[in-house]
Structure 1
Amino acid sequence: MWKLDRDGKRALYQQIADHLEQRISYGEFPPGSLLPSERKLAEQLGVNRSTVVMAFAELRSLGIIDSRTGSGTRVSATKWGATPRHTPNWSRYTEGGQFLPNLPFMRRIREALIQQPALIDFASGELAADLAPTEEIAKLMSTHEYTSYLGYDNPQGSMPLRQALVGYLEKYRGIRTTESSILITSGSQQSLYLITQCLLSPGDAVAIEDPSYCYSLPMFQSAGLRLFRLPADAEGIEPEDIRTLFKQHRIKMVFLNPTFQNPTGTVLSDERRRQLLAAASELRLPVVEDDPFSLTAYDGNPPLPLKAMDTAGSILYIGSFSKIAASGLRIGWMVAPRSIVERLADARQQMDFGLSVIPQQVAGQFLQSPFFEPHLDRLRMELRFKRDILIEALNKELPGMIRYNAPNGGLHLWCRLNSAVQDGKLLEETIKRGAVFVPGSVYGSDSGFVRFTFARPRTEEIEQGISAFSQALRLLQE
């Protein structure tokens, strides 16, 4: 992100004017497009509004922009030797296409984190740098040789990595599979994207948990799918609801995160797992099991995944390195029937010709290295410690104002406020005070729910961040 040179000889307003002129000339702001308001630009750049006013005045004097009361400031339609009829209407293009943008709250959170890197981040669903096995992976990379071949690899994924995953899945998740039934992806979201684009058709009905991380992903709506909700309680979804939805809407697929569910942290009970598998088999209904958090179980004993109990071949199993090691490796996997793997591998090859070879080799070596289990032990201990710090801070800052159930694994704490407030106002007030979280409505809940991710902030930041949230909440309740 561009920054002002506050120690330079050139005046700040001139730097801003030059930067805007450059962006306009590059086509980032096409002729006729609306520029940010003076107030918003001043906040983004950390300057007085009068500085931006002077920069705009400089650009107006050059005929680059036009300002009209009540209509804002726009790029001149005739500057740069162009006229509107010769310039693509980029705004129309950004509003078109079938792939929808992120939800407004998610875009606002991303924007805030980019503009204010010091925000205490309870929103990002990834591990902090100190929880990743950085030193272990560095040792592996320094002591292992990597392939000299840097061309396209097998579109299904590196064979050594798939072989390593066969052992990993049996040892840690009780899943018996073969290399031919595994597809390597760039993470859980690419797995979900391939499923929604290749195995389903516009108009198909699918079932998701309520609340659900899937609700926050526009890829489902982009694929033209109809979403139907499965209400969840402390033991997860009720399998009988699947039969009801099948009868009423002929649902084609079910998407579940049964272990330390995102966002609630709940675990589908053993009895309901058995009932779910029976219903899926009876209805011949595929179930997508997203399982990113199971190995974070704080006691080291996660429940068996649905896939390990599946005798009818109903489960498409998705896993990832992102929540147990390092999201930056961009390694995920799917276990599915061979015909499905081949179909999705063909589609993925059309997208990117396959994943980078080196991260796949690193991931395979890490799974088979003596570093893996000690890393998991440390990760579980650190996550539990951060969870406890977060709960202690909530009890101190918001006694009697918030309810939650402490999860036994995962990265998230799902909370319900005892008095409702507007999600947008609460988010903005919290950002002003130096922290950010995800409103529950992002996951399909009513206003008054929040998700705090405790894996991302540093331990010493957690209490400070909850204090900022508490101040914002109390302000809105006055």
Structure 2
Amino acid sequence: MWKPDRGSKKALYQQIADHLEQRISYGEFPPGSLLPSERKLADRLGVNRSTVIMAFAELRSMGIIDSRTGSGTRVSATKWGATPRHTPNWSRYAEGGNFLPNLPFMRRIREALIQQPSLIDFASGELAADLAPSEEIAKLMSGFQYTSYLGYDNPQGSIPLRQALVDYLEKYREIRTTESSILITSGSQQSLYLITQCLLSPGDAVAIEDPSYCYSLPMFQSAGIRLFRLPVDSQGIQPEEIRSLFKKHRIKMVFLNPNFQNPTGTVLSDASRRQLLDIASELRLPIVEDDPFSLTAYDGNPPSPLKASDKVGSIIYIGSFSKIAASGLRIGWMVAPHSIVKRLADARQQMDFGLSVIPQQVAGQFLQSSLFEPHLDRLRMELRFRRDLTIEALNKELPDALAYTIPDGGLHLWCRLNSAIQDGRLLEETIKRGTVFVPGSVYGSDPGFVRFTFSRPKTEDIERGISLFCEAFRQLNN
């Protein structure tokens, strides 16, 4: 007689449910037939009765069996009809596949924000509505006329947008490139996805910062990529660590966010930049530079990207509209060797046949308009103000309970709590009180770190949101 495998990673109740479903589908238990009682089946299979109860509950949830008090458990007659037929086991499909779901904390945060729209949101890494150039975009679109054919566009992205980006990158980021070396993507995240899926193979080793936004993206694990850490301090990473990882693990690529790094807000030092480029050239090692925050530099003097000093073509440069304008436009870009751009454009075309042509045209017009620079000036001023409000509230509420480094740009404040508190308990306590943040462990750090995104809440809600967080912290710290 079949028995569940106690050495399997699959739960015993799930094994039992799957086995019974298979036997029912084979007609061994016809529609309407009586199944063994929970106690008898538990004795036969050598498991606790509670395990069988869970297995039956799983089958009932799919409509395969019915249970009635005094009548036992039977195979559903109404669901199966004359012959064994039923819907697919969608729960197993949902749990399958190679692409992993978001981290549990991120799913919990998203669920809370959907269920409680009034939450003061320090978690979502985007701009608040009043920081986006809504009026500027509306002004551009008031005279908008799209005269070209509204069909699939160039696989690399709109030519006018790529031409606008050539000028933008040279003016604002000191990067000289051509439109043929630019790929338009649906934000930075699609750029990273294309790189992990098309340029790397399962089992490849890559280096990422520690902590890093990359840890919050299961796409790396979904692609079977092995991640190795580059610790981040106040000066960014130590480039010699890359050489060490290359020798030990033969890393094939390095992923960096050197300017106002997410989540720490640090900027890679000039000395480390020079050393990093030398090591990358020596090892013939590609670097993926994610640069979404540079133009938010509060003093108006953004740090140069690594790509601006790249003389040998070691760097794939990723940028986005999301952190400086509007995430809803879904406009990102990648600057890479033409062979790489062609390869990734081909892959992206298989996914979606390219982006919508209208947001691309709007983005291109905005970059070239006289409205862009005033928007950046206003954005920087507002972000600095919100950063200061957040720090002031934390200093008022928890003057001796946390530590942080004041960022000079970006959207985030990275804090270390001086007490050991479980991330999950702290998150749930803050949600109960009406606010939400991101636990630092999401980004690969040890417990006790938190990231506040001060660009997302309304200005008038920042002090109250921080106060609610601190109430939760004090409650757990007592």
State the TM-score bracket (shorter-chain normalisation).
Answer: 0.7 to 0.9
Q: Quote the residue 1:277 is aligned against.
A: 277
CA offsets 1:261-310 (integer angstroms, 9 cap, x no match): 00000000111001000000000000000000000000011111000000
CA distance in 2, matches of 1:126, 1:147: 32
Q: Quote the residue 2:64 is aligned against.
A: 77
* Identity in percent: 82
TM-score (norm 1): 0.84
Displacement of 1:69 in angstroms is: 13
CA distance in 1, matches of 2:441, 2:156: 36
Displacement of 1:82 in angstroms is: 2.2
Please list, as runs of the form range in 1=range in 2, the aligned pairs for 1:134-149 lying within 5 A after superposition.
134-149=134-149
Q: Quote the residue 2:292 is aligned against.
A: 292
User: What number of residue pairs does the alignment pair up?
Assistant: 414
CA distance in 1, matches of 2:148, 2:157: 17
Displacement of 1:75 in angstroms is: 5.6
Q: Quote the residue 2:170 is aligned against.
A: 170
CA offsets 1:191-246 (integer angstroms, 9 cap, x no match): 00000000000000000000000011000000000000001100000000000000
Q: Does 1:469 align with 2:469?
A: yes
CA distance in 2, matches of 1:318, 1:265: 18
Displacement of 1:121 in angstroms is: 0.2
Displacement of 1:399 in angstroms is: 1.3
CA contact (8 A) 2:62 2:89 kept: no
List 4+ stretches of structure 1 deviating above 2 A. Answer: 67-87
- Structure 2 portions without partners, runs of 5+: 1-20, 22-52, 66-75
Q: Quote the residue 2:108 is aligned against.
A: 108
Q: For residue 291 of structure 1, what is the amino acid of its counterpart?
A: D
Q: Quote the residue 1:438 is aligned against.
A: 438
Displacement of 1:80 in angstroms is: 9.0
CA distance in 2, matches of 1:426, 1:313: 45
Displacement of 1:136 in angstroms is: 0.4
CA distance in 2, matches of 1:161, 1:349: 18
**Structure having the higher Rg:** 2
CA offsets 1:316-369 (integer angstroms, 9 cap, x no match): 000000000000000000000000000000000000000000000000000000
CA contact (8 A) 2:63 2:79 kept: no
Range that drifts further, 386-395 or 76-85: 76-85
Please list, as runs of the form range in 1=range in 2, the aligned pairs for 1:131-280 lying within 5 A after superposition.
131-280=131-280
Q: Secondary structure at the match of 1:304?
A: coil
Q: Quote the residue 2:368 is aligned against.
A: 368
Q: For residue 352 of structure 2, what is the amino acid of its counterpart?
A: D
Q: For residue 366 of structure 1, what is the amino acid of its counterpart?
A: F
- Structure 1 portions without partners, runs of 5+: 1-31, 33-66
Q: Secondary structure at the match of 2:442?
A: helix
Q: Quote the residue 1:353 is aligned against.
A: 353
Q: For residue 262 of structure 2, what is the amino acid of its counterpart?
A: N
Q: Quote the residue 1:61 is aligned against.
A: none
CA contact (8 A) 2:64 2:86 kept: no
CA distance in 1, matches of 2:378, 2:177: 28
- Sort the Cα spacing of 1:93 and 1:68 in 2 relative to 1 into closer, same or farther, 3 A: closer
Q: Quote the residue 2:118 is aligned against.
A: 118
CA offsets 1:439-464 (integer angstroms, 9 cap, x no match): 00000001000000000000110111
CA distance in 2, matches of 1:190, 1:408: 27
Q: Quote the residue 1:48 is aligned against.
A: none
CA offsets 1:67-117 (integer angstroms, 9 cap, x no match): 999969846435693248622111111111010000000000000000000
CA distance in 2, matches of 1:457, 1:428: 19
- Sort the Cα spacing of 1:303 and 1:80 in 2 relative to 1 into closer, same or farther, 3 A: farther
Q: For residue 87 of structure 1, what is the amino acid of its counterpart?
A: T
Displacement of 1:147 in angstroms is: 2.9
Q: Secondary structure at the match of 1:236?
A: coil
- Sort the Cα spacing of 1:68 and 1:447 in 2 relative to 1 into closer, same or farther, 3 A: closer
